[in-house]
Chain A
C-alpha cells in the first residue's frame, strides 16, 4: 500500500515535470517519423516485400523496439541532473520506499514511450499498416518491458557513475552493438551464420523477433512468448539491480 502510494507520488511528480516541457513529444517523435518517411520507402525493394504495407510490418516493430531501447537508456541523464541538484539526497533522507524512487521514474518513462509508440503506430496506419488490436497491445507490453528495463538500468548506472561525461559514452557503447545485433533496421534473416549466432545471445534480438511476429499477426509463434519471457525476466532483474543502487549505503 505504502509502496504503491510512494510510487504513484514519484510518478506524478515526474510526469508533471515532463508535461511542463512538452518539447520532448516533438523530439521523441521527430526521429522515428524521419525513419518512417525517409528510410522505410527503401525497404520494399530491399526486403523484396510484395507491398509497402508488408515492408512496414517488418520495419515498424523494429523501429518501436529501437525507440524503447534508446528512450530508456538515456533517461539516466535526467537523474544525474537531479543528483546534482540534491533532489535525490533529499528524497533519501525521507522514509519513502527506495524501490518507489526508481519505479516512479521508470514508469513515467514507460508511459512517455507508450505515447510515442501510439503516435508512430497511428502514422504507420496512414501508410497502410494493419495490425490486430490484441496483437498490438501485446506488442506494446513487450515495448513497455523493454523500456522499463533499459530505463531502470540507465538510472542504476547513472547512480554509479554520477557524471554525464561517463554515462554518454557508456550508454552509446552498449547501445550500438545491441542495436546492430538485434536486426532492428533490417531483419537478421539476411545475416551470415556467425552473425546470427552472436545475435542469438542478444536478448533484444528475441524481443524484436517477438514484436515482429505480433505485427505479422502470428500470435501462436514461439517467438512471441520467448520474447515476452526474456524481456520480462530482464526487466525484473534490471529493476532489482537499480533499486539496490537507490538503496545503496542506506538501509
Chain B
C-alpha cells in the first residue's frame, strides 16, 4: 500500500544571519501492507509529521521515491490525493460550521455530488455517533467529539489509506480508548491506517507494525512483539543512591549473567539479563557482599521504550 525508498526532506532555518539546514527526514524506507495499522513512533521532532506530510502530498520531498496506493507520489500527486485521507494533528474543523456542513463540503471537494455527499455525511455521523450533535457548531464540541468529526472527514471519500497524525494527543483516557476502537473499526472495513504517535502504549496496543523514528531516520521496524523480542531477556532495575551507583556499577560489570549495564542519571542501574528471576538473587548477593545498600529492585519485561533506548541510547520518555 505504501512503499517508500530514500525519502528525504531538509528545511532551511534562519537564526540571525546564519542559515542552517536541518535534515528533518534523512532517507526513509517503509513498506506498509494493505489493511494494517502501521504506527510511526518517535519523540517530537523526530521527523514523523514531516514524513507524513510528504506522503499526504502536502510538502514535496527533496529526494527519494514513494508509491502510495499504487500512485507515484512524485509524478502524480493528484492521483495520490484521490486515494488517501489525511487527518492533521492540530485539527481541521471550523468553529462556526456544523459537523454535517463540514462533512458535506469535504466530500464535495473530492468531486462527489451534493446528494451523495449528504448521504455519506449522514452515514459517517451515524458511524461515529455524532448524529446528536450533527447540526451544532463545531466550537461547541468536546475534544473527543471534534476529533471524531475530523477522522470522519478524513475517510468521507472512502480512501484506501488514511493518515492520522497523532490522533489521540490531548484526549482524556476514555476518549482515547474510544478513538482506538474507531481506528480498529477502520481496519476492519479494509482500510490501511497509518498513524503517528509518541505514546508507547498506543503503538503497542493499537498497531500491527511499527517503525521507530529518531532524528529523521527509521531506527527499527517490525511488529511490537518482534521488536521487543529482539531485545533478548529482561531488564532489572536496581534503585541506588547516586553516591553508591558508580561502585555498584563496578561491582556488577563483568558478572557473567549481565549482558549489558547502564547507569540511570538519577542514581541506579539498568541491567539487561537473560533471565530476570535467576539474576535478581545473584545481584542482591553481590551488592550485599560489597556492602552496598539498595533502595529497590524491580524486574521488568522489555517495553517499546527499551527498544527505543537500545536503538538510540535515549529513553523516549525523556526525549
Contact = CB atoms under 8 A, between A and B. Distances in A.
Interface in A19-73: 20-21
Contacts of A13: 101, 105
Interface stretch (A79-87, A129-137, A235-243): A79-87
B315 interface: no
Interface of A: 2, 5-6, 9, 13, 16-17, 20-21, 82, 84-87, 89-96, 249-251
Contacts of A84: 90
Given A89-B92, A93-B56, A249-B60, 9 more contacts: A2-B111, A9-B108, A9-B109, A17-B97, A84-B90, A85-B94, A87-B94, A94-B157, A251-B78
Contacts of B108: 9
Interface in B51-93: 56-60, 77-78, 81-82, 84-86, 88, 90-93
Given A89-B58, A90-B88, A250-B77, A20 B96 contact: yes
B57 A86 contact: no
Contacts of A20: 96
Contacts of B262: none
Interface residues of B, number: 30
B105 A85 contact: no
B60 A94 contact: no
B198 interface: no
A94 B88 CA distance: 13
B97 A93 contact: no
A96 B105 CA distance: 11
B120 to A, nearest CB: 14
Given A249-B58, A251-B77, A94 B109 contact: yes
Nearest to B76: A251
Interface string B96-109: 11000100011011
17 contacts: A9-B105, A20-B96, A82-B94, A84-B90, A86-B93, A87-B92, A90-B92, A93-B56, A93-B58, A93-B84, A93-B85, A94-B109, A95-B109, A95-B110, A96-B110, A251-B57, A251-B77
Given A9-B105, A9-B109, A85-B92, A95 B153 contact: no
Contacts of B57: 92-93, 250-251
B95 interface: yes
B88 A86 contact: yes
Contact of A96 (B58, B59, B91, B109): B109
Contact of B82 (A6, A16, A95, A251): A95
Contacts of B92: 85-87, 89-90
Q: Which of A2, A16, A94 has the most chain B CB within a 10 Å cutoff?
A: A94
Contacts of A90: 86, 88, 92, 106, 153
Nearest to A251: B77
Contact of A95 (B58, B59, B78): B78
B20 to A, nearest CB: 20
Contacts of A95: 78, 81-82, 109-111
Nearest to B75: A251
